[in-house]
């Protein structure tokens, strides 16, 4: 059996994690896992963990560690025969330690994007709440302004994407991410990529992964059907 490959991608809001994750998944046939998707699926399915997560989200609070691990770790335990890339988890040191107890990561990608670039991207970012689809009015606008391409439902702009909230949001990310980054750096699996344009960062990530992912793993990975 080919060696499996497990990776995490980290970055502040607006860093392009979603776009790069999709490219990695397509290029290297990894199953892309999104913590946001897991949360939405569990809320829609009315699972115990989903109901609990919803109580925090409706109050504008972050979903706490014990709920996030309850949502994600069982799914990872079902994927022992699959290679994957995780986007959006871990977000705290406690989550990182819980993930370490479940599996051994091969690589962590950290995106380092200048504040001004993040500010510009987030001020142009609009979201379809039900699906989590993200649009950017500068380089990825919807076909019809203010409407989701697939459902036609209205798009919204999160209050914390607005400039006045951005500084605090990015400071919070930096504070929470530092111990996680230090942990993965100590394990020798952290790779940081800096820049202002996703298309310029991507070739370096692509080159790195081409040397890290066994070619056979690109053919033995299947998409996991979501409940």
Annotated binding site: 14-19, 35, 40, 61-63, 88-91, 95, 125, 134-135, 169, 198
Question: What is the rounded CA–CA span in Å between residue 63 and residue 55?
Answer: 9
Look at residue 122 and give its three-state secondary structure: helix
Question: What is the rounded CA–CA span in Å between residue 173 and residue 177?
Answer: 6
175 Cβ neighbours under 8 A, 6+ residues apart: none
Question: What is the rounded CA–CA span in Å between residue 61 and residue 33?
Answer: 22
For 62, other C-beta atoms within 10 Å of its C-beta total 13
Question: What is the rounded CA–CA span in Å between residue 13 and residue 173?
Answer: 8
Annotated binding site for a ribonucleoside 5'-triphosphate: 14-19, 125, 134-135, 198
Annotated binding site for AMP: 35, 40, 61-63, 88-91, 95, 169
Provide the H-helix boundaries in the chain: 17-28, 35-44, 48-57, 65-77, 93-102, 115-123, 163-186, 198-212
End-to-end CA distance of the chain: 27
Contact assessment for residue 161 and residue 122, using Cβ atoms and an 8 Å cutoff: yes
């Amino acid at each position: 059996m080919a060696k499996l490959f497990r990776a995490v991608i980290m970055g502040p809001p607006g860093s392009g994690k979603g776009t790069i994750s999709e490219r990695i998944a397509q290029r290297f046939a990894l199953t892309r896992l999104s913590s946001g998707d897991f949360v939405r699926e569990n809320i829609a399915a009315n699972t115990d963990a989903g109901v609990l997560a919803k109580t925090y989200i409706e109050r504008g609070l972050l979903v706490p560690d014990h709920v996030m691990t309850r949502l994600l770790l069982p799914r990872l335990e079902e994927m022992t025969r699959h290679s994957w890339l995780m986007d959006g988890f871990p977000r705290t040191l406690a989550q990182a330690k819980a993930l370490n107890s479940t599996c051994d990561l091969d690589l962590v990608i950290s995106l380092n994007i200048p504040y001004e670039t993040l500010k510009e991207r987030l001020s142009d970012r609009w979201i379809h709440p039900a699906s989590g689809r993200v649009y950017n009015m500068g380089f990825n606008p919807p076909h019809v302004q203010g409407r989701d391409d697939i459902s036609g439902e209205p798009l919204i702009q999160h209050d914390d994407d607005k400039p006045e909230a951005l500084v605090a949001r990015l400071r919070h990310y930096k504070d929470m991410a530092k111990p996680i980054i230090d942990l993965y750096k100590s394990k020798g699996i952290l790779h940081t990529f800096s820049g202002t344009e996703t298309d310029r960062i991507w070739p370096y990530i692509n080159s790195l992964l081409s040397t890290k992912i066994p070619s056979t793993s690109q053919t033995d990975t299947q998409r996991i059907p979501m409940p």
